[in-house]
Amino acid sequence: MQAIVDERKGRPFTSFADLELRLHLKNPERLIVGRIEQELSGVEDKYRLFVAA
């Protein structure tokens, strides 16, 4: 997740394909959905990127 945040600082992502290309990820949609589900389930993380506390 930190790599996504760091890469976004240079230039915003335009699509999931752009995200996949710039970070060399396979299926970034699943990664982001998993993170959102984790934040919604109440798992304590230092940072919440998608869900307000």
Domain boundaries, the chain: 2-40
* Predicted local confidence at residue 49, as pLDDT: 81
**Looking at residues 2-29, what average pLDDT do you find?**
91
- pLDDT tens digits, one per residue of 16-43: 999 999 999 999 999 999 989 988 988 7
The answer, yes or no, to whether residue 52 has pLDDT greater than 90, is no
* Predicted local confidence at residue 4, as pLDDT: 87
* Predicted local confidence at residue 15, as pLDDT: 93
Q: What is the pTM of this model?
A: 0.70
- 3-class secondary structure for the chain? CHHHHHHHHHCCCCCHHHHHHHHCCCCHHHHHHHHHHHHHCCCCCCCCCCCCC
